[in-house]
């Protein structure tokens, strides 16, 4: 959908250069710096927007990229998506006019943002870009749907808010949804290769089913429910497809196996070929293709980045006498100040020294092009500041006992001692907290943890201790103090009326258990694994958005189709609760396993249900006793799982 964006904008055509003043020793205007700033920050954040280079458009574009507007946009997308919680079938009911009003506001924000974008890029480019067309169509369709729905509602007619399915498309098609579009594009590009394997896989399932039909249908076998076993071709195909996902693994085989051990060969061959070999081939094909296209995308990004930096250089260049075009230190400084106003002078000086390693006072094109990457490198400023107590009470802080304390806290034994305390604490948490000794011990542990933090603050410089990168220090402090506050509230409630709030107690428990996680930090290797996981977080998040889009669409469709078909009753004495309020489910496995809460009656239930389908086990039980159309959701589940594995894989 959005491919032309990156494709066409990587190679800007000649006309785009019209606004770029030629090099020379002329003084650079503010407009030149604005333009160069945009090129550099576009290169830095891998933006590929083909903007107008007129000074007015450039100023608008700078505004367009301001972080406040981006945050606002995402906030309204979130509001728009979460409207599903309040709309029928609702988790929290709101009147229709309220949700409609909020949705109108969202539409307005999206329109304004799009209009802003239209001002920034040339008109013909705007109308050629499928993502803008897509947003406009979605906005118009939503508006139409809202009018129809409002009208029908006013006339008390039945109507469906079908445009809700389109909402996630906005998330994909906004200019900032670049990563998401890239992921979608990689999947789409891999599809043709996958489809060949898929067809072959389906062919194999069909052939095996035909063989099963011929071998088993005439033997009068019965399933444990007493129904005829393997007599209908389509049912066999479905059963064997379920077997690929392993969800009905031994059950589907048992009647034939009980009849004769020879039939086990059939099922073993089937599992080997379809579950193991074909699924592995799928994984391999998806992995290879995804990797291939990702590589291509990244190569393209790198080319585009260099190109943009070269254009920024073109704007700011000056002609050295009889030499190559260069950018002076002064102009460079001004540019960096505008691109990243937040960085310190020391940092800026460091960057300049890296670029101008010959100390000439100006840099050429090659050195200039590196700037985008250099700006992305995070520089940690380590200032060895003295401890504030040292300047406040130098005599006491430098005294013998104080120094001994510092040495003790910094010693490896101190860490080990606290790890042991945590382990003892774990045992205490596991024991029954109604025993007064156990529940009082909590105060002791809390005191010890608070003491540990205070000691560390005494020894280490507080600003270094709570620096941006000290994840575990932050984690510790927050968990310990939150637990302290929750425990105090809990005992205050208890002593005031002997009443303990279950919610407060739950929070206390969760916080206590979270404290134990700290043990992980003490072993180098574990820290490395955790840090790797944290570093691949963004890649997983992109994929999380992708899953969200798919889930949202399925949830919206599912809610319209199946709402209130299956009901959950809190009150188990209600006779309807044994068949989920739907006579069709009387005596079904679905009701027997008390799956009534797995329904499409609100957006939260729908998401949980879809997740259960993704986890695969029992998915056939969940589906079969509903309605055939839900099969589609089930079919996508094993593939979602496959792709999830792959995505994590790739991101590592």
Which residues in 402-441 contact its own copies (CB under 8 A)? 426, 429-430, 433
Shortest CB 78 distance to its own copies, Å: 18
Part in contact with its own copies (CB under 8 A); list of ranges 16-24, 138-146, 301-309, 612-620: 612-620
Nearer CB in complex with its own copies: 33/543: 543
Min CB(500)–its own copies separation in Å: 10
Residues in the chain: 652
- Residues 526-545 within binding reach of its own copies (CB under 8 A): 526, 529-530, 533, 540
Q: In angstroms, what is the minimal distance from the CB of 42 to its own copies?
A: 33
Q: Min. distance of Cβ 293 from its own copies in angstroms?
A: 18
CB closer to its own copies out of 193 and 318: 193
- Residues paired with residue 318 on neighbouring β-strands, in sequence order: 326
- Under the binding rule (CB under 8 A), the answer on residue 512 touching its own copies is yes
How far apart, in whole angstroms, are the C-alpha atoms of residue 507 and residue 68? Answer: 34
* Closer Cβ to its own copies, 125 or 626, answer by number: 626
Q: Which of 136, 510, 624, 636 binds its own copies (CB under 8 A)?
A: 510
Distance of alpha carbon 576 from the chain centroid: 39
Considering only residues 283, 294, 464, 539, which one is a binding residue for its own copies as defined by CB under 8 A? 283
Smallest Cα–Cα separation from 245: which of 275, 210, 286?
275
Candidate residues 605, 606, 637, 643; the one interacting with its own copies per rule CB under 8 A: 605
In the complex, least distance from residue 218 CB atom to its own copies, rounded to whole angstroms: 9
Q: In this complex, which beta carbon is closest to its own copies, that of residue 233 or of residue 460?
A: 233
Binding part of the chain for its own copies, among 27-35, 42-50, 131-139, 513-521 by CB under 8 A, reads 513-521
Identity of the residue, 233 or 474, whose beta carbon is nearer to its own copies in the bound complex: 233
Q: DSSP labels for 397-428?
A: HTSHHHHHHHHHHHSHHHHHHHHHHHHHHHHH
- Which residues, in sequence order, are bridge partners of residue 228? 222
Near its own copies by CB under 8 A: residue from 421, 438, 513, 635: 513
- The end-to-end CA distance of the chain, in Å, is 27
Nearer to its own copies, 24 or 430 (CB): 430
Which residue in this structure is represented by tokens 């005031």?
496
Q: Please report how close the Cβ of residue 281 comes to its own copies at its closest, in angstroms.
A: 7
Q: Residue 613's closest CA among 589, 637, 642, 597?
A: 637
Determine the Cα–Cα distance for residues 610 and 168; give it in Å rounded to an integer: 16
Nearest residue to 153 via CA among 90, 218, 91, 95: 95
Per-position x/- string for 621-650, each x denoting binding to its own copies as judged by CB under 8 A, each - no binding: -x---------------------xx--xx-
Residues 598, 556: Cα–Cα separation, whole Å: 15
CB-wise, 78 or 264, nearer to its own copies? Answer: 264
Q: Does 559 bind its own copies (CB under 8 A)?
A: no
Dihedral sign, Cα of residue 348, residue 349, residue 352, residue 354: negative
CB of 246 to its own copies, least distance (A): 4
Candidate residues 246, 333, 545, 589; the one interacting with its own copies per rule CB under 8 A: 246
- Alpha-carbon gap, residue 150 to 156, rounded angstroms: 10
Applying CB under 8 A, among 102, 148, 213, 522 the residue interacting with its own copies is 213
Tokens of 543: 């994929």
Return the residue matching tokens 């050629």. Answer: 128
Whether residue 221 contacts residue 256, with contact meaning beta carbons closer than 8 Å, is answered with: yes
19: DSSP letter: G
Secondary structure element (H or E) that encloses residue 328, with its range: strand 325-328
Residue 191 Cβ vs its own copies, minimum distance, rounded to whole Å: 14
Kindly write down the DSSP assignment for every residue of 354-393, as one continuous string. Answer: HH-TT--SEE-HHHHHTHHHHHHS-------PPPHHHHHS
Of 83, 108, 106, nearest to 96 by C-alpha is 83
Interacting residue with its own copies among 72, 269, 284, 423 (CB under 8 A): 284
Report the site for its own copies in 286-325 (rule: CB under 8 A): 287
Binding segment toward its own copies, per CB under 8 A, in 27-35, 99-107, 183-191, 594-602? 594-602
d(CA 505, CA 491): 10
DSSP reduced 3-state for 37: helix
Among residues 563, 43, 651, 622, the alpha carbon closest in space to that of 294 is found at 651
- Identify the CA nearest to 428 among candidates 420, 474, 518: 420
Out of 56, 324, 594, 632, point to the residue binding its own copies (CB under 8 A): 594
Count of other CB atoms within 10 angstroms of residue 110: 22
CA distance 37 to 63: 12
Q: How far is the CB of 81 from its own copies (least distance, A)?
A: 18
Cβ 241 to its own copies shortest distance, Å: 14
Task: Report 252-281 residues binding its own copies (CB under 8 A).
Answer: 254, 257-258, 261, 264, 268, 271, 275-277, 279-281
Cis-peptide, bond into residue 89, ω within 30° of zero: yes
Nearest-10 crossing angle of helices 279-316, 329-339: 130
In the complex, least distance from residue 584 CB atom to its own copies, rounded to whole angstroms: 20
Site for its own copies in 190-209 (CB under 8 A): 196-197, 199-200, 203, 207
By the rule CB under 8 A, 4 interacts with its own copies: no
Size of the site for its own copies (CB under 8 A): 77
What value does the CA radius of gyration of the chain take, rounded to a whole number of Å? Answer: 32
Q: For residue 319, what is the DSSP state?
A: E
Q: Where in 561-590 is the site for its own copies (CB under 8 A)?
A: 568
d(CA 466, CA 473): 7
CB of 652 to its own copies, least distance (A): 5
Exposed/middle/buried for residue 647 (C-beta within 10 Å: 0-12, 13-18, 19+): buried
Piece of 8-16, 247-255, 303-311, 485-493 that binds its own copies (CB under 8 A): 247-255
* Options 103-111, 116-124, 212-220, 444-452: segment touching its own copies (CB under 8 A): 212-220
| Min separation Cβ 552 and its own copies, Å | 16
Q: Could you tell me the smallest distance in angstroms from the CB atom of residue 254 to its own copies?
A: 6
């Amino acid at each position: 959908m959005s491919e032309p964006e990156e494709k066409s904008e990587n190679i800007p055509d000649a006309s785009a250069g019209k606004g770029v003043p030629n090099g020379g020793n002329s003084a650079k205007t503010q407009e030149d710096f604005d333009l160069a700033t945009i090129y550099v920050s576009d290169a830095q954040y891998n933006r590929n927007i083909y903007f107008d280079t007129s000074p007015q458009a450039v100023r608008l574009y700078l505004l367009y990229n301001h972080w406040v507007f981006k945050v606002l946009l995402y906030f309204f997308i979130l509001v728009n998506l979460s409207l599903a919680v309040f709309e029928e079938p609702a988790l929290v009911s709101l009147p229709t006019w309220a949700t409609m009003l909020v949705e109108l506001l969202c539409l307005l924000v999206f329109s304004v943002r799009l209009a802003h974008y239209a001002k920034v890029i040339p008109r013909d480019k705007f109308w050629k870009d499928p993502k803008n067309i897509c947003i406009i169509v979605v906005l118009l369709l939503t508006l139409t749907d809202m009018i129809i729905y409002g009208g029908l509602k006013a006339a008390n007619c039945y109507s469906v808010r079908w445009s809700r399915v389109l909402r996630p498309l906005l998330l994909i098609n906004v200019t900032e949804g670049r990563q998401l579009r890239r992921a979608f594009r990689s999947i789409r590009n891999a599809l043709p290769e996958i489809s060949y394997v898929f067809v072959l896989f389906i062919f194999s399932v069909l052939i095996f089913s035909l063989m099963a039909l011929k071998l088993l249908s005439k033997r009068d076998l019965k399933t444990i429910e007493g129904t005829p076993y393997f007599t209908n071709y389509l049912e066999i195909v479905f059963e064997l497809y379920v077997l690929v996902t392993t969800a009905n693994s031994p059950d589907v085989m048992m009647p034939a196996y009980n009849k004769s051990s020879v039939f086990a060969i059939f099922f073993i061959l089937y599992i080997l070929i379809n579950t193991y070999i074909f699924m592995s081939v799928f994984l391999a094909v998806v992995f290879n293709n995804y990797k291939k296209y990702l590589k291509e995308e990244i190569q393209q990004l790198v080319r585009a980045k260099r190109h943009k930096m070269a254009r920024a250089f073109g704007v700011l260049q000056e002609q050295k006498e009889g030499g190559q075009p260069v950018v002076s230190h002064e102009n460079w400084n001004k540019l960096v100040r505008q691109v990243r106003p937040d960085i310190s002078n020391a940092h800026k000086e460091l960057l300049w020294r890296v670029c101008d390693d010959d100390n000439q006072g100006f840099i050429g094109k090659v050195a200039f092009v590196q700037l985008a990457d250099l700006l992305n490198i995070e520089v940690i400023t380590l200032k060895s500041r003295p401890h504030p107590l040292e300047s406040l009470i130098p005599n006491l802080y430098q005294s013998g006992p104080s120094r001994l304390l510092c040495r003790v806290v910094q010693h490896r034994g101190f860490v080990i001692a606290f790890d042991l305390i945590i382990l003892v604490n774990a045992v205490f948490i596991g024991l029954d907290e109604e025993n007064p000794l156990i529940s009082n011990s909590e105060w002791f542990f809390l005191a010890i943890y608070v003491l540990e933090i205070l000691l560390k603050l005494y020894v280490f410089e507080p600003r270094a201790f709570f620096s941006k990168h000290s994840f575990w220090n932050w984690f510790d402090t927050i968990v310990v103090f939150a637990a302290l506050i929750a425990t105090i509230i809990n005992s205050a409630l208890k002593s005031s009326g002997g009443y303990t709030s279950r919610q407060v107690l739950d929070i206390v428990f969760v916080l206590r258990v979270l404290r134990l996680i700290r043990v992980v930090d003490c072993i180098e290797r574990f820290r490395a694994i955790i840090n790797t996981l944290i570093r691949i977080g963004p890649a997983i998040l992109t994929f999380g958005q992708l899953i969200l889009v798919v889930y949202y669409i399925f949830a919206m469709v599912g809610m319209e189709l199946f709402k209130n078909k299956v009901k959950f009753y809190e009150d188990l004495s209600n006779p309807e609760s044994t068949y989920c309020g739907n006579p069709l489910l009387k005596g079904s496995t679905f009701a027997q396993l008390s799956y009534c809460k797995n329904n499409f009656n609100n957006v939260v239930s729908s998401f949980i249900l879809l997740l259960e389908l993704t986890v695969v086990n029992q998915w056939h039980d969940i589906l079969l006793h509903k309605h055939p159309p839900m099969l589609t959701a089930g079919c996508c589940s094993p593939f979602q799982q496959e792709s999830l594995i792959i995505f994590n894989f790739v991101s590592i």
